[in-house]
């Protein structure tokens, strides 16, 4: 039995026919839509490398069956930059050395987007660390990641204030 699935990925409507309901949202992105920016780390919801934004919320795409997400609006790391113009969070990760090998970085950045949108952490480093605890970095770039998130949070808040003015 096959399943037809319509999703919006980074603003583009996509329709996929899945031959099997076992396909995860992560495998849909990587294997069927060739969006390999989202990484497969543990594939069991423990590392956060597969984090994407679905309908405005950060989730682990490895623990989501694609068929359950018919109609969803998905944002991945590929949807952030406008050409060479990086998203403020991407720029902040570079400015603050928020990575070494880079494998966890797409998940860290998508998680940071979710964290900032949730609006619970503000400029408190302890709340940022707690809110990012679902994203592991085996290189141990946590200090830079926290600085990057705090910096990006401030820049995005300033941008919002200017746009509102």
How far apart are CB 165 and other proteins at their closest, in Å? 28
CA atoms within 13 A on the CB side of 1: 4
By rule CB under 8 A, what count of residues binds other proteins? 35
Q: C-alpha angle 116/120/125, rounded to 5°? A: 80
- Nearest Cα neighbor of 92 from 158, 45, 31 is 158
- Judged by CB under 8 A, the residue of 39, 58, 87, 96 near other proteins is 58
> Binding to other proteins by residue 86, rule CB under 8 A?
no
- How far, in Å, CA of 117 to CA of 102, rounded? 23
For residue 75, the minimal CB distance to other proteins (Å) is 14
Closer residue to other proteins in complex, CB, 2/165: 2
* x/- letters, 105..134, toward other proteins (CB under 8 A): ------x--xx--x-x---x-xx-xxxxxx
Sign of the torsion angle spanned by Cα atoms 47, 51, 81, 34: positive
132-151: contacts with other proteins (CB under 8 A): 132-135
In whole angstroms, what is the distance from residue 52 CA to residue 113 CA?
A: 9
- C-beta of 40: minimal distance to other proteins in Å? 12
Written as one string, the DSSP assignment of 66-97 is GGGGTT-EEE-GGGT-BTTB--HHHHHHHHTT
The residues that touch other proteins, with contacts defined as CB under 8 A, are 1, 3, 20-22, 24, 43-45, 48, 51, 57-60, 63-65, 67-68, 111, 114-115, 118, 120, 124, 126-127, 129-135
């Amino acid at each position: 039995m096959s399943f037809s699935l319509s999703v919006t990925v980074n603003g583009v409507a996509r329709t996929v026919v899945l031959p099997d309901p076992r396909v995860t949202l992560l495998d849909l992105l990587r294997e069927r839509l060739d969006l390999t920016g989202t990484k497969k780390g543990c594939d069991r919801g423990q590392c956060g490398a597969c984090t994407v934004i679905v309908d405005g919320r950060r989730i682990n795409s490895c623990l989501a069956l694609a068929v359950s997400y018919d109609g969803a609006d998905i944002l991945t790391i590929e949807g952030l930059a406008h050409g060479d113009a990086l998203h403020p969070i991407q720029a902040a990760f570079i400015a603050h050395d928020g990575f070494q090998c880079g494998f966890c970085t797409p998940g860290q950045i998508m998680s940071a987007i979710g964290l900032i949108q949730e609006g619970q952490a503000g400029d408190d480093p302890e709340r940022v660390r707690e809110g990012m605890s679902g994203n592991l970095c085996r290189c141990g770039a946590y200090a830079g990641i926290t600085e990057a998130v705090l910096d990006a949070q401030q820049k995005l808040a300033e941008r919002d204030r200017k746009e509102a003015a």
